[in-house]
């Protein structure tokens, strides 16, 4: 899959406090308000940007279709879990986009490279260190993995257990094997409701259950 190149898109957002329903959405994965704050995740009321034809559009949040923002220095990545278009971007999303990087400690035992932001948050809530790139098929910069391999004893790829995730994790594991990167396959069915670490925790598995898989 060819990487998209992002031209900086002008954007504006209206932030708001998390509603109880939104907090419940995150809570089912074990993700707390503290973790959301630490990772700069906000609830958005409104997002305005431009489409490919440079026409302005505005999306508003609703109870059925909440909207969250992952903020970086010059960009926002919009996450709408229940919408047809789940991800949108504003500003200039860097090619080296890596969520969770600045929250990592200087040194640690195990680092997980996971499929998406929610998985990073879900793991962080259980006390694990994790990062993700823009998608499972995104290129993983070897220079970054090299640096991280000095900081962490083990680096494990923990992607979705659907076809895309399994193929991508195998490809990345081969690409990064020189840095001792391995992959971990979750014992899930791979259906839409049961394919990633967030689902694993949502289904009632504990930190201990996960550690025993490692």
d(CA 98, CA 56): 28
| Claim: this prediction has a pTM higher than 0.75 | yes
Q: What confidence tens digit (pLDDT) does each residue in 164-194 have? A: 999 999 999 999 999 999 999 999 998 888 9
Instruction: Summarize pLDDT for 107-162 with one digit per residue, the tens.
Output: 999 999 999 999 999 999 999 999 999 999 998 999 999 999 999 999 999 999 99
DSSP-assigned letter for residue 9? B
Q: CB neighbours (10 Å) of residue 170? A: 14
Neighbour count for residue 112 (Cβ, 10 Å): 25
């Amino acid at each position: 899959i060819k990487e998209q190149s992002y031209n900086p898109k002008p954007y504006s957002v209206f932030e708001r406090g998390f509603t109880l329903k939104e907090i419940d959405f995150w809570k089912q994965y074990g993700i707390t308000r503290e973790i959301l704050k630490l990772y700069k995740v906000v609830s958005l009321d409104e997002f305005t940007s431009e489409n490919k034809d440079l026409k302005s559009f505005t999306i508003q949040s609703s109870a059925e279709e909440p909207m969250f923002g992952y903020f970086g220095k010059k960009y926002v990545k919009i996450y709408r879990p229940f919408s047809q278009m789940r991800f949108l971007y504003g500003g200039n999303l860097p090619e080296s986009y890596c969520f969770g990087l600045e929250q990592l400690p200087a040194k640690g035992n195990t680092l997980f490279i996971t499929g998406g932001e929610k998985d990073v948050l879900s793991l962080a809530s259980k006390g694990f260190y994790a990062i993700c790139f823009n998608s499972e098929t995104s290129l993983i910069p070897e220079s970054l993995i090299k640096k991280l391999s000095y900081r962490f004893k083990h680096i494990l790829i923990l992607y979705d257990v659907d076809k895309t995730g399994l193929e991508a994790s195998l490809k990345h594991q081969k690409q990064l094997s020189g840095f001792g990167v391995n992959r971990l396959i979750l014992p899930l069915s791979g259906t839409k409701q049961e394919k990633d670490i967030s689902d694993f925790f949502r289904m009632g598995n504990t930190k201990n259950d996960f550690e025993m898989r490692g």
